[in-house]
Structure formats: structure tokens, C-alpha cells
Amino acid sequence: MTGDVTRPAPDFWWGAATAAYQVEGAVDEDGRGPSIWDTFTAEPGRITDGSTGAVACDSYHRWREDLDLLNGLGANAYRFSIAWPRVQPFGSGAVNAAGLAYYDRLVDGLLERGIAPFPTLFHWDLPQALQDAGGWLSRDTAERFAEYAGVVGDALGDRVACWGTLNEPFVHMALSYAFGTHAPGEVLLLDAFAAGHHQLLGHGLATQALRAASSAAVMLVNNLTPVRAASAEPDDVAAARVYDAFHNRMFLDTVLLGTYPEELADAEVVREGDLATIAQPLDLLGVNYYNPTQVKAPGPDNPLPFEIVPLEGYPRTGFDWPVVPQGLTELLVGLRDSYADALPPLVVTENGCAYPDEPAPDGTVDDPDRIAYLDAHIRAVGAAREAGVDVRGYLVWSLLDNFEWAEGYTQRFGITRVDFATGERTPKASYGWYRNRISRDWAPDLP
């Protein structure tokens, strides 16, 4: 497919996002080493539908089709991730030229289509060998991450538009190390903090390595959420503040201000000099937004200092997540108000929704709920821009239906349907809607 659409103005990035383990498949090909997700998905009971990312969307082989889909959208940016175990099968040392060559082809294919590459270096698929040595609980993983960043920076840095170091370090700390629902399945509750701190350290060291290797822009990609106290009771308000410290400020204050939020300031794992390393100047901040979070004081049996309660009174996605577009405006404006001059320009690096859309008998896929969701959220970005927030891009999650981690293939986030039995891609109605939306850029009648 080739697009016949007007390219958007180059000062705003319009596009879509994916991640390696969720789309690539080919887990045993061309020298890729095992990742923690290969190990985790092989354990019975870990994934809702018992599936794995072994094939996923088969993007490792069908990448040209995926790039043509982006081209057909009129996208000018693609956020994908690089699988560390393809580049360094055992997480350090020897580089696997065949694995690196895949990303070389992908980057060149994007540039041939006029699409800017936005690669993320770590989207959760840690080499298993590093997990065997402690994973992100080990400080050494941060050093290994910088080594890997240098390798990839040397290989691709002449053509990349913007590097993302980590994807959603909070989510990785929480689901992978605190609650164990994601690989590697550790249940450490608050002791997961070390995995968060070492990711932050890895981000700082990797940023230094990328700067040394390439002049491309660098960003960190966070999952951020406006936090709402369940009531005005002081205990609920205090619990909401603590949750905000873990989810948002731990990954913002450190990176942007060089400090830990006061709620988290005494951790032993933080060594002298770490915060200076973490607070590297950034060119952009990636914001992944899905919904606000409501929090109340913990009950007597809860070992945590907060308790999450469902946010009622909003429509819900197929994944049962509340649809709150105004939360995105609130978040973006709040970042500007909280961090002022310390805040780099923002890019919405993920936003989207899962619905159980099915093809009609004629094969078309009508997904009006997703169109409504995207329309409302893009308008919410427009409202933040109107309020003076410097937002430079919007990338839909996701270009393709894909492997949704512990939910396997049961949650479809794509603007393109993927038949997981055949790999066939079918653009949904939302794909056509988004193509038209992109072609209008920020026309004067918007938001």
C-alpha cells in the first residue's frame, strides 16, 4: 500500500507505536537470545490465553507491510522497540550482527518512506542471561544497558530521529517486580524500588552513551497518570500523594530535577552521584497516557501504603479501562505547571484502547468506539496545546493488534486488525479515520 495523503507539517510527529516482543515473533531466528518473556510465557498459567510472542504479528518477516501501513497513514514517525536479546543475545559482550541488521533494514525502510525512526531501547524484553544475574535488581544491569545503548547508537545513530531509552519504567517496576504479573514474575512489593532505581540509573548511563555515539534526540518514555484521591479525607489524600510519588514523580523528579520525591528519598539503594547521572538533559519527554488512577488509604491487611479503587462514571474500553480524555489534558498541563522550565517538549508516545472488534462478513472491521476514543484524546492534546503546552507529537498505540503481555492476544489495541493464524493485516475503520485526521494536522478548526 502506498499513501496518497498530504504529509503533515514537520513540526508535529503523527504516527503509531509498537514494541519488539509484542509484534516481531521470530524469537529463535538469526541468533536472538532468550528473553525473560520467552521464559515467562513458557510457564503455565502466566498468560490469560496460554499464548506467547513466538510468532505474534510476525513483523520480523512482514516489516515491509507494516512500514507500508504507516506510509499509507501519512505518518511521519514510527515508535518501535529494539529487542536487546537480538543485538546482544546474552545481554553483554558479543554483538549479533544478524540481529542488528534487522533494525538496520527497518530504519532504512522507514527513511525510504519519509518516516522518522523513534526506536525505544528497552521495552521489557530483558535478555534472560541478565535476569539470571539479578535483572534490574542488580546495579550491573544499568551498566550493561549503557553498553548495549552504545552498540545500537554506533550502528543506527546516523539515521535515528529520536531514541527512547526505557519504556514505562514504573510499569516494569510494578508489574514485573512488585506484583509479578509480568516477566520475570517477582513479587517484592515495595522492595521492587531497586528495580525502578536501577532502570533510572540505566536511563542516565544509556543517555550518556547515546550522546557519545549519535547526535539524535533522546527521550525517556513514561506511563503517567493523573492521581485522584477517592475522597477529601486526609488519609485518602495522603495515600494518593504516595501513589503519585511511586507512579509519576519517581520517574519525573529524578530525571528532570535530579531529586527523589520526599516520600521516596531515603532508599539505601541510591548511591552518591546516582541522581546526577540520572538527570541527563533530555530533548523530549515521552508520555504514555491511558487513564487516571483513583486511590484511597489502604485497608488494615494491605501491606502497601495505598489502595487503587476503580474510577466509576466513565465509559470503559474492552479492557475495562475508564475512558477519560480530559485526563490527558490535565496531565499535560499539569506537567508544564509542575516542572516549568525543567520540562522538555512532550510527545504523546502511546495512547489507544482495546476493543473486541470483529470483522464483518465482508472482511471490513468497523471500530467506532476506537474512533471516538482517538478523536477525544487527540482533541485533549489540542486543548493542552491551546493552553500553551509544548506537545510535539501523538503516536497511537498501536499500529497493529499484538501480544498484550499477560493478556496474550485477548486485547486488540490495533488500528490494523491482525489475523494471528495467518498474519494477515486488515486496516480497521479507525485506520482510515486516523489517516484523514493526520492529513488535517492542526487545522484552525481544531480542537
Instruction: Assess 125 for contact with ligand IFM (CB under 6 A).
Output: no
Lookup: cell for 281 = 538533559
Q: Which of residues 334-393 bind ligand IFM (CB under 6 A)?
A: 350
- Residue in 168, 186, 330, 404 annotated catalytic: 168
Closer CB to ligand IFM, 403 or 434, in the complex: 403
Q: Is 350 an annotated catalytic residue? A: yes
Position among 163, 373, 397, 433 found at the interface with ligand IFM (CB under 6 A):
397
Conformational region of residue 168, where left means phi above 0, alpha means psi within -120 to 50, and beta covers everything else: left
Nearer to ligand IFM, 175 or 438 (CB): 175
Contacts (CB under 6 A) with ligand IFM, residues 1-30: 19, 22
CB of 17 to ligand IFM, least distance (A): 8
Smallest distance from the beta carbon of 276 to ligand IFM, in angstroms? 29
Rounded CA-CA distance 190/304 in Å is 7
Q: How many helices (H) and strands (E) does the chain have?
A: 14, 13
Residue number closest to ligand IFM, CB atom? 19
Contact criterion met (CB below 8 Å) for 435 and 3: yes
Beta carbons within 10 angstroms of residue 42's beta carbon: 12
Which of 8, 27, 404, 433 binds ligand IFM (CB under 6 A)? It is 404
The interface mask with ligand IFM, positions 156-175, x = CB under 6 A, is ------------x-------
Residue 127's DSSP bridge partners are 35
Question: SS3 of 393, please?
Answer: strand
Residues 410-439 that bind ligand IFM (CB under 6 A): 413
Which CB contacts under 8 angstroms, 24+ apart, belong to 61-68?
Answer: 61/25, 61/26, 62/423, 62/425, 63/102, 63/105, 63/106, 63/109, 64/109, 65/425, 66/18, 66/23, 66/399, 66/400, 66/425, 67/106, 67/109, 67/110, 67/113, 67/115, 68/1, 68/2, 68/113
**257-316 residues near ligand IFM, rule: CB under 6 A:** 288
Binding site for ligand IFM (CB under 6 A): 19, 22, 168, 288, 350, 397, 404, 413
Return the active site residues: 168, 350
